[in-house]
Amino acid sequence: MKDQKKTPLFDRILDYINEETTPFHVPAHKMGKGIHPKWKDFAGENIFKMDLTEVQGLDDLHQADGVIQEAQELAAEAWGADSSYFLVNGTSGGIVASICTAAKQGEKIIVPRNSHKSTVYGLIVSGAVPVYISPEIDREKGLVGGILPSTLQKVYRDNKEAKGMVAVSPTYYGVCSDIKRLIEITHQYNGIFIADEAHGNHVYFHEKLPKGALFLGADLCCQSIHKMSGSLGQSSILHTKGNRVDVNRLKANLQMTQSTSPSYILMVSLDLARSNMAIKGHKLLEDLIELTEKTRKQIEKIPFIEVLGPSITGIHGIAEYEPARLVVSARKLGIQGYELYKLLRKDYQIEIEFGDYFYGVCILGIYTTHDELDRLVRALKDISMRFRGQKKPLVWNEELPPIPPQILSPREAYFADVEKVPWSRAKGRIIADMVVPYPPGIPTICPGELITDEVWDFLDAQSKAERHFHGSEDGSLTSIQVVSKLG
Ligand SMILES: Cc1ncc(COP(=O)(O)O)c(C=O)c1O
């Protein structure tokens, strides 16, 4: 067992600063001297002294064998991985590197339809061909559920040569699939399981939270430590487990997706967040879970306001719910999630993570306080009073069209000549972008796919119903990027 109180990178940086070595190296602000005085007045001097580079004694992220390696080994132990790699370009960079490691140009990889856009970028960079798998949809709630193991079994049976799969769990909404079974099935087919745990890095530190994918045998696992475990924005970790992954290839791919001047401030924040979670994580999460549960109960009692919780498990492929998340809806008041998001900021000085058609997603953290949550509850109570009886409740219960045929890989579509056409003339064309209507928030069509009659009719109906679209230029369906006519 390593001593998780240790913070090797932080300590070595302080030593370097105290040595007062004359800096003839980047960054050119020279340990803060060149930073704008306004910023120094606000932030103080010390943080800028820590903005260093690979000076002697501070190791090299891309060939770590000193303090960075020591810090990464502590992280590997804290999360139960075989090896861990600090990411200074977020989980996004880790996902791209992971996909490039698992599947090469032309090889198949199973990708959930509700993947983060970094997965699509991974497909574009690697040239791998996605075999899309649809998560279950709770149509009444307008919520994307989990991936059913039986669906994955079928996809593998039809695509035995697939090199593995990517899975997001928990999702932004706190939904967890049966990751244990998905990993077992992937391994039966000798595939590599890539866990997108952008939102799940904290679950390893408390038994009341869903089991982490690494614990369940994932081969690669990307975690945004900045989202839940208290490091600085953009700092993440990629972990590996087992012997399915070619680690040298992974390291090469990480060099491709990350800066040659990685920020030491970001890496230090990972070193310190890891120590904090390993030492105090259990207690902090215990408090957070208790606080969230209490708040959820209070919100449940507010008329016309809904909140997601563990009761949604057991159907729609949802194996577990991440209890430390608060996802609220005012749809019974006729208020969309986007409107709720704006209203909370404008009238109550509360900024939540985002809103979609039905939901407002509030991200809580290990230092969220009772007072902050109390303020949210009071705001929701007020909204419930102010807006009742004004508008019709929002409903959605649509059947999604089947996934359309893939004519080009995402890479081919991305690099093809494209043109913009009015939506009315898009039928039968190959799309260069993706279109994601809300609800439920998964792409109806992805780059390289054919705009079939069914897809066109579905999206057109959603557009007439004034749904919001992600991926299209202005959030509507006025015009769309398609691949110019082939050959
Ligand atoms: C599911 C999912 N995966 C990956 C990412 C990318 O993470 P990062 O912002 O750390 O690059 C996000 C970001 O929101 C996400 O929600």
| Lowest mean per-residue pLDDT among 136-150, 306-320, 448-462, 469-483 | 469-483
> What distance in angstroms lies between residue 383's CA and the mean position of ligand 1's atoms?
30
Strands 320-321 and 306-307: unpaired
Q: What is the pLDDT of residue 89?
A: 96
Element containing residue 479 per DSSP (H, E): strand 479-483
Instruction: Please spell the DSSP secondary structure of 147-206, one letter per residue.
Output: --HHHHHHHHHH-TT--EEEEE-S-TT-EE--HHHHHHHHHHTTPEEEEE-TT-GGGGG-
Distance, CA of 321 to chain centre? 16
Q: Which atom of ligand 1 is nearest to the CA of 234?
A: 10
> What distance in angstroms lies between residue 171's CA and the mean position of ligand 1's atoms?
10
pTM, rounded to two decimals: 0.97
pLDDT of 125 > 70? The answer is yes
When pLDDT is cut at 50, 70 and 90, the band that residue 465 belongs to is confident
> What distance in angstroms lies between residue 262's CA and the mean position of ligand 1's atoms?
19
**Mutational pocket test of ligand 1: of 89, 118, 171, 228, the residue with most ligand atoms within 8 Å of the beta carbon:** 118
Residue 195's contacts (CB-CB under 8 Å, 6 or more residues apart) are 167, 169, 179, 213, 214, 218, 220, 221, 222
Q: In this structure, which topology does domain 410-483 adopt according to CATH?
A: Ornithine Decarboxylase; Chain A, domain 4 (3.90.100)
Residue nearest to atom 12 of ligand 1 (CA): 198
Q: Which of the pair, 195 or 433, is modelled with greater confidence?
A: 195
Q: What is the pLDDT of residue 477?
A: 86
Domains of the chain, residue spans = 8-277, 282-387, 410-483
**Mutational pocket test of ligand 1: of 224, 226, 237, 325, the residue with most ligand atoms within 8 Å of the beta carbon:** 224
Q: Tell me: the pLDDT tens digits for 56-69?
A: 999 999 999 999 99
Q: Pocket residues for ligand 1 (CB within 6 Å)? A: 90-92, 116, 118, 168, 172, 196, 198, 224, 236
Residue nearest to atom 7 of ligand 1 (CA): 91
C-alpha to C-alpha distances, 32 to 44, 183, 263, nearest whole angstrom: 10, 47, 14
Q: What is the pLDDT of residue 486?
A: 66
When pLDDT is cut at 50, 70 and 90, the band that residue 375 belongs to is very high
Q: Which atom of ligand 1 is nearest to the CA of 168?
A: 1
pLDDT of 468 > 90? The answer is no
> What distance in angstroms lies between residue 227's CA and the mean position of ligand 1's atoms?
9
Asked, as a colleague might, if the bond just before 401 is cis with ω within 30 of 0, I would say: no
Is domain 282-387 annotated with CATH 3.90.1150.170? yes
Q: What is the pLDDT of residue 441?
A: 87
Q: What is the pLDDT of residue 476?
A: 77
89-106 mean pLDDT: 98
Q: What is the pLDDT of residue 440?
A: 86
> What distance in angstroms lies between residue 91's CA and the mean position of ligand 1's atoms?
6
Q: What is the pLDDT of residue 98?
A: 98
Q: Which atom of ligand 1 is nearest to the CA of 226?
A: 10
**Mutational pocket test of ligand 1: of 85, 88, 91, 237, the residue with most ligand atoms within 8 Å of the beta carbon:** 91
Q: Dihedrals φ, ψ of 202, to 5°?
A: -80, -15
Q: What is the pLDDT of residue 406?
A: 97
pLDDT of 211 > 80? The answer is yes
259-279 mean pLDDT: 98
C-alpha to C-alpha distances, 219 to 48, 243, 474, nearest whole angstrom: 37, 8, 38
pLDDT, the chain, mean: 96
Q: Which atom of ligand 1 is nearest to the CA of 94?
A: 11
> What distance in angstroms lies between residue 382's CA and the mean position of ligand 1's atoms?
32
pLDDT of 75 > 80? The answer is yes
| Lowest mean per-residue pLDDT among 140-144, 162-166, 173-177, 241-245 | 140-144
From CA 80, how far away is CA 216, in angstroms rounded?
10
Q: Tell me: the pLDDT tens digits for 399-457?
A: 999 999 999 999 999 999 999 999 999 999 999 989 999 888 889 999 999 999 999 99
453-475 mean pLDDT: 86
**Mutational pocket test of ligand 1: of 87, 89, 92, 194, the residue with most ligand atoms within 8 Å of the beta carbon:** 92
Q: Which atom of ligand 1 is nearest to the CA of 95?
A: 4
Q: What is the pLDDT of residue 398?
A: 87
Exposure of 434 in the CB half-sphere (CA atoms within 13 A): 24
Residue 54's contacts (CB-CB under 8 Å, 6 or more residues apart) are 60, 61
Q: Tell me: the pLDDT tens digits for 165-176?
A: 999 999 999 999
Q: In this structure, which topology does domain 8-277 adopt according to CATH?
A: Aspartate Aminotransferase; domain 2 (3.40.640)
When pLDDT is cut at 50, 70 and 90, the band that residue 474 belongs to is low
Q: Tell me: the pLDDT tens digits for 12-71?
A: 999 999 999 999 999 999 999 999 999 999 999 999 999 999 999 999 999 999 999 999
pLDDT of 292 > 80? The answer is yes
Q: What is the pLDDT of residue 487?
A: 61
Using CA atoms in the order 262, 264, 269, 272, what is the torsion angle rounded to 10 degrees?
130
